[in-house]
Chain A
Amino acid sequence: DIQITQAPSSLSASVGDRVTITCRASQSIGSYLNWYQQKPGKAPNLLISAASSLQSGVPSRFSGSGSGTGFTLTISSLQPEDSSTYFCQQTYSIPYTFGQGTNLEIK
């Protein structure tokens, strides 16, 4: 199985900060990495597919990069509504594992 290590597990940042979340795969997965945002009590929502493709309607302050084993989700200027948990998921091979999640809190 491909293991996905997501870091940090939680972070606290201020409005306007640049925030970076990383996912590392235990083996190369090309660009088979997606990012989701989940607000409390809600279903996950797709932010970025194929490592770097921003979904329609997602604010441009979100961006994704990476390939192979290392991936990054960046929020360029944190907004209050970005308070959420963020997950990455590899869809390269079964089982299609998720990262452990990053709980992002606004200071």
Chain B
Amino acid sequence: EVRLVESGGGLVQPGGSLRLSCAASGFTFSSYWMSWVRQAPGKGLEWVANIKQDGSESFYVDSVKGRFTISKDNAKNSLYLQMSNLRAEDTAVYYCARVILGAVWWLDPWGQGTPVTVSS
């Protein structure tokens, strides 16, 4: 069974840092692009970042560029999101998801999410 389990969320003060983790199982993690998507309370979904299979390329939404870093450790079957200089508007549930490449690409499956609250 393909499974993604996020962890590392919590309460952090504005300007602080947090590292999210996503443990993958049930598939060959090193063969897949991976993604982070977030959802602010009561709001819609926002794509945050993608990373290539070997970690050599990554892409970000403008609002997190220079503050967030996506990485993956294929030996540990783990995806990470290092978040720094956090702002109130970063408050959200953060989901990791596997990228499936076909004629187009999509996200499947998603983890259960880990909540991040940025507040003093």
Contacts and interface: CB of A to CB of B under 8 A. Distances in A.
Interface of A: 30-34, 36, 42-46, 49-51, 55, 87, 89, 91-92, 94-101
A46 B109 contact: yes
B75 interface: no
A96 B47 contact: yes
B110 A101 contact: no
Question: For chain B, what secondary structure do more than half of its interface residues adopt (helix, strand, loop), or is it mixed?
Answer: strand
Contacts of A99: 44
B107 interface: yes
B102 A49 contact: yes
B45 A98 contact: yes
A34 B59 contact: no
A34 B45 contact: no
Contact of B62 (A45, A55, A95): A95
